Amino acid sequence: MKNKSAVAVIAALSALISGGLYLLFTRFPTMPLAASAQAAHVDSAWNGLLIVEGVIYALVMGFLLYCVFAFRAKDRREQGEKFDRSRGRFVEVGWLAVSIALTLSLAALGAHELRELIKDPTADIDIEVRASQFSWEFYYPQFKTYGAKLYMEKGKRHRLILSSKDVVHAFWVPEFRIKQDAVPGKAIPMILTPTKLGEYTLLCNQLCGRDHYNMLATVEVLEHEDFESNMKAEF
Amino acid sequence: MTEFFASLAAGVVVFVAGYLGLRGPLGPQGACVLAYLASLLAVLGVVGGAKAMRSYALGREPEEKHGVARYFSFDVDHKVVGIQYTAAAVVIFLVGGLLALTMRLELARHGLQYLTPEQYVTVMSLHGITMVVVALIATAGGLGNFVVPLQIGARDMAFPRLNALSFWLLPPAVLLLLASPFLGGLDFGWTAIAPLSTQGTTIGKQMFVLAFVTAGFSSIFGGVNFVATVLTMRAPGMGWNVLLYQHLFWYYSHPAVYIMILPAFGAVLEIIPVYARKPLFAYKLVAGALMTITALSFIVWAHHMFTSGMWMLLKLPFMVNTELISIPTGVVFLAVMGTLWKAKLRLDSPMLWALAMVANFLIGGLTGIPLADAPTDLHLHDTWFIVAHFHFTIMGGAVFGFFAGFHHWFPKMTGKRLNETLAKTQCALMFVGFNAVFIPLFWLGNHGMRRHVADFPEWMDPVQTFASLAALVVGSSVIVFSYNVLTSLRRGEEAGMNPWEALTLEWKAASPPPHGNFKTPPVVSGEPYDYGVEA
């Protein structure tokens, strides 16, 4: 009898917590604007985790809060009861089974989105991204032009070939989501497909020295015609 | 000349050691250790080690030697050391082989023919340990020393004198082993497993231990020398994996975070049953879970390197291995929840800290999964999301767990009780302040706040200012803490032996426990977490 009402109270508390989380995450979106095809895969993995983990958090916190309020000793002479070991065993096995199933499904979702991100190495436009302390340089081999601003064409697959002249840097545009280190002695490819026109900020995301905080560049995503004319103009 | 003085000095020490051993309080065991160390130095002196060290101290280049004699001297050329090692390995192999034949001789027929049982065990033990030495040194020490520096285009090993020393520690060790049959023999095999090996002692056993330590130093010196040589002495143009440092760093540093959190789990799980007045739920399962975390912690390190440019397909196993850790971590929560269920909770300050730790670590643990998950980590890596995550595990987990333990054991350590009101105030301030600082950081990280930078876009100002103000709340909690500890030490209430009515043995000692801990040895009469009454 008493157990049933406890379950009801815990369920209500958990619903309250998950409702609160839902409002919080809608009022303050957990991710910035998604402006690349790759961002969709990252966000899909993220949303899966957010939902499952939000529910786990609500259930565990609901349970803990209920216990802290419902099971307080009224005076210090009160003692708890030793529990029934056979029922304890049942709870242990059930808990393990559920956590294994959840972990494996989340890993499967992650593996699926990871595969989506890396399965296709082909690209329409190659851009060599050369990092050095504390600036970025972009070379477009198909157009044989250089620049300090990264131009990309909307909807096209770009292969960014990252390299570094000195220490490890990292390429990150939050709106594009995926991130890649630029490592001296290596040329690391990264496929990016911008999907929204506009200007973004490229941030160096690996501590590279004194002016790391300021190692920024502008990324501009353009329509086909604008991109082409930009490439042909001298700069 | 140096050799002469070294041997003379060693002779004097051997004589004094022997004299002290026979007449003084040192006893024959101590005397033999001293005599051995003296002879070791003498050997090194005679072969030229002292001279080599002196030339090093004076900043001179090692002297180049010629002829056969160099192979019997403290020569720092890696080619000589390699040949010395190879020759020594062959000689020791012959000795070990003769010992094996001796064993076969006795074993050819049943019954005892040539050896007494004690002699057989000694011969068998020596065969084992000498052959182990051969297997360890022959290829690495001999061929490796000769070939590796040449193969990587280096002038020599990184530390040529250390290299010579690591060889020259070996002959004394082996001679010592071979002397043991004449000094009482060995009866514990080459593994020297205790307690057999610590039961009774002969000089022969002492020799085994000394030889073992000497050979151990020899191989450690050799090992570090090889690592340093291969890492630093490669010819120009011989590239190395630029990611190796990151792999090595995380191979150590990921298990290290569990070294931080597992003791805090231990403290919290130790504390909660005391204040729940119930046994710890799923005790064996959670013990197994902590060991599982320890084992898994060694195969997850590259989840720190998803953006590093390592081989793409490695991301999958490291992602799955890391996410598996959430299963044993979940068991820790099961143990806490099962213990709280239908408990009779006493919300004393240690319990509040323990519960705060659990609430923090729930966030810390859950936010670890998006970082282990390769697709989401590509966005979150090196942002404030990870900064917030590890503060929730290490500050929210390890530090709050420490404070739980601190409040629980403070009466035992000092004999005084902390002021409970102040302790609970500190806990509340730190819990609220800590969460207020770090929860917004997750959000900032997702929206572009990089770690390791001093500046950020203006639109982040409201959130950043809020976090800075909240940090002052955390700071104020530490002032409350310091005040509480200082005043409680001076005029705190006497704690008595067992203020929390806990069952573990430390609460059967006085507070603070006197020298020697217990007046009479405590008698264990039940399980350590067996709180509560029969249902």
pLDDT tens profile B248-285: 999 999 999 999 999 999 999 999 999 999 999 999 99
B375 CA: distance to closest CA in chain A (Å): 5
Contacting residues of B for A72, CB less than 8 Å apart: 344-345, 347
pTM of the complete model: 0.81
The pLDDT value given to residue B57: 83
Residue B50: strand, helix, or coil: helix
Of A60, A118, A206, the CB nearest to B333: A60
Half-sphere exposure of B365 (CA within 13 A, CB side): 28
The pLDDT value given to residue B525: 80
Q: Tell me: do B218 and B349 sit in the same domain.
A: no
Whether residue B213 is contained in a domain is answered as: yes
Contacting residues of A for B307, CB less than 8 Å apart: 170, 179-181
> Based on the number of CB atoms within 10 Å of its own CB, is B120 exposed (0-12), middle (13-18) or buried (19 or more)?
middle
Do the beta carbons of residue B185 and residue B244 sit within 8 Å? no
Residue B107 to residue A167: CA distance in whole angstroms = 65
Whether residue A80 is contained in a domain is answered as: no
Contacting residues of B for A110, CB less than 8 Å apart: 319, 323, 373-376
Do the beta carbons of residue B336 and residue B280 sit within 8 Å? no
Of B285, B446, B450, the CB nearest to A32: B446
Residue B231: strand, helix, or coil: helix
Contacting residues of A for B358, CB less than 8 Å apart: 64
Q: Tell me: do A156 and A227 sit in the same domain.
A: yes
Of A53, A113, A188, the CB nearest to B309: A188
Q: Tell me: do B163 and B210 sit in the same domain.
A: yes
pLDDT band at A52 (very low <50, low <70, confident <90, very high): very high
Whether residue B137 is contained in a domain is answered as: yes
**B344:A183 CB<8 A:** no
Contacting residues of A for B460, CB less than 8 Å apart: none
Q: Tell me: do A157 and A220 sit in the same domain.
A: yes
Q: Tell me: do B227 and B259 sit in the same domain.
A: no
Whether residue B476 is contained in a domain is answered as: yes
Of A49, A82, A214, the CB nearest to B534: A82
In the structure encoding, which two tokens stand for residue B32, read together? 């033999």
**B446:A80 CB<8 A:** no
Residue B208 to residue B173: CA distance in whole angstroms = 9
Q: Which of B211, B232, B253 is the last residue of a domain?
A: B232
Q: Tell me: do B350 and B228 sit in the same domain.
A: no
Of B338, B443, B450, the CB nearest to A88: B338
Q: To the nearest whole percent, how much of chain A has pLDDT over 90?
A: 88
Report the relative pairing of strands A216-222 and A198-204 from DSSP bridges: antiparallel
**Is A184 in the B-facing interface, judged by CB distances under 8 Å?**
yes
Residue B250 to residue B300: CA distance in whole angstroms = 9
**A177:B331 CB<8 A:** no
> What is the extent of the structural domain holding B331?
244-508
Contacting residues of A for B459, CB less than 8 Å apart: none
The pLDDT value given to residue A1: 44
**A99:B326 CB<8 A:** yes
Whether residue B289 is contained in a domain is answered as: yes
Q: Tell me: do A103 and A161 sit in the same domain.
A: no
Half-sphere exposure of B123 (CA within 13 A, CB side): 18
**A28:B331 CB<8 A:** no
Sheet holding A145-147, edge to edge: A145-147, A135-140, A125-132, A158-164, A188-192
pLDDT tens digits, one per residue of A98-118: 999 999 999 999 999 999 999
Residues contacting B308, CB < 8 A, separation 6+: A168, A181, A183, B243, B246
**Burial call A77-113: b when 16+ CB within 10 Å, e when fewer:** ebbbeebeeeebeebbeebbeebeebbeebbebbbeb
Long-range contact list for B26-35, CB < 8 A, 24+ apart?
B28/B203, B29/B201, B29/B203, B29/B206, B32/B203, B32/B206, B32/B207, B33/B206, B33/B210
**A60:B342 CB<8 A:** no
pLDDT band at A20 (very low <50, low <70, confident <90, very high): very high
pLDDT band at B535 (very low <50, low <70, confident <90, very high): low
Restricting to A residues 111-130, those with a Cβ less than 8 Å away from any Cβ of B are 111, 113-114, 117-118
Q: Which of A118, A139, A172 is the last residue of a domain?
A: A118
Residue B434 to residue B399: CA distance in whole angstroms = 11
Tell me: pLDDT of A81 over 90: no
Whether residue A63 is contained in a domain is answered as: yes
If one counts every other C-beta atom within 10 angstroms of the C-beta of residue A170, the result is 25
Tell me: pLDDT of B328 over 70: yes
Q: Tell me: do A111 and A129 sit in the same domain.
A: no
**B379:A79 CB<8 A:** no
Q: Tell me: do B174 and B305 sit in the same domain.
A: no
Number of domain units in chain B: 2
The pLDDT value given to residue B6: 66
Q: Tell me: do B324 and B354 sit in the same domain.
A: yes
**Is A105 in the B-facing interface, judged by CB distances under 8 Å?**
no
Q: Tell me: do A224 and A130 sit in the same domain.
A: yes
What average pLDDT does the segment B461-466 reach?
97
**Is A181 in the B-facing interface, judged by CB distances under 8 Å?**
yes
Q: Tell me: do B147 and B261 sit in the same domain.
A: no
Q: Tell me: do B275 and B418 sit in the same domain.
A: yes
Q: Tell me: do A40 and A96 sit in the same domain.
A: yes
Residue B451: strand, helix, or coil: coil
Whether residue B535 is contained in a domain is answered as: no
> What is the extent of the structural domain holding A57?
2-72+85-118
Q: Tell me: do A138 and A190 sit in the same domain.
A: yes
Which of A42, A160, A180 to substitute to test the interface with B, most B CBs within 10 Å? A42
Residue A136: strand, helix, or coil: strand
What average pLDDT does the segment B396-407 reach?
97
Q: Tell me: do A64 and A109 sit in the same domain.
A: yes
The pLDDT value given to residue B2: 61
Q: Tell me: do A103 and A14 sit in the same domain.
A: yes
Tell me: pLDDT of B487 over 90: yes
**A32:B447 CB<8 A:** yes
Provide the CATH number for the domain around residue A146: 2.60.40.420
In the structure encoding, which two tokens stand for residue B310, read together? 């390592």
Whether residue A79 is contained in a domain is answered as: no
Of A41, A71, A206, the CB nearest to B375: A41
Q: Which residue of A has its CA nearest to B385?
A: A30
Q: Tell me: do A111 and A175 sit in the same domain.
A: no
Q: Kind and range of the H or E element at A221?
A: strand A216-222
Distances in Å between the Cα of B241 and the Cα atoms of A162, B359, B367, B534 are: 17, 42, 31, 62
Q: Please, what is the end-to-end C-alpha distance for chain B in angstroms?
A: 85
The pLDDT value given to residue B30: 74
Average pLDDT, chain B: 91
Q: Tell me: do B166 and B307 sit in the same domain.
A: no
Number of domain units in chain A: 2
Question: Which of these, B255, B379, B364, B243, lies nearest to B305 by C-alpha position?
Answer: B243
For B92, phi then psi, to 5°, come to: -65, -35
**Burial call B402-415: b when 16+ CB within 10 Å, e when fewer:** bbbbbbbbbbbebb
For B134, phi then psi, to 5°, come to: -60, -50
In the structure encoding, which two tokens stand for residue A189, read together? 């490819």
Q: Which of A89-103, B281-295, B521-535 has the lowest mean pLDDT?
A: B521-535
**A68:B383 CB<8 A:** no
Whether residue B7 is contained in a domain is answered as: no
Residues contacting A12, CB < 8 A, separation 6+: A62
Which residues on adjacent β-strands are paired with residue A219?
A150, A200
Q: Tell me: do B192 and B318 sit in the same domain.
A: no
pLDDT band at B529 (very low <50, low <70, confident <90, very high): confident
Do the beta carbons of residue B338 and residue A69 sit within 8 Å? no
Provide the CATH number for the domain around residue B250: 1.20.210.10
Half-sphere exposure of A153 (CA within 13 A, CB side): 19
Q: Tell me: do B316 and B344 sit in the same domain.
A: yes
Residue B84 to residue B64: CA distance in whole angstroms = 16
How big is the CA angle at B155 (ends B153 and B161), to the nearest 5 degrees?
135
**A81:B535 CB<8 A:** yes
Q: Tell me: do A99 and A143 sit in the same domain.
A: no
Tell me the residue ranges of DSSP E strands in B260-352. none
Sheet holding A198-204, edge to edge: A150-153, A216-222, A198-204, A169-172, A179-182
Q: Which of A159-168, A225-234, B305-314, B439-448 has the lowest mean pLDDT?
A: A225-234
Distances in Å between the Cα of B228 and the Cα atoms of A154, B56, B142, B160, B162 are: 51, 19, 18, 11, 12
**Is A222 in the B-facing interface, judged by CB distances under 8 Å?**
no
Q: Tell me: do B412 and B439 sit in the same domain.
A: yes
Whether residue A57 is contained in a domain is answered as: yes
Whether residue A77 is contained in a domain is answered as: no
**Between B26 and B299, where is the model more confident?**
B299
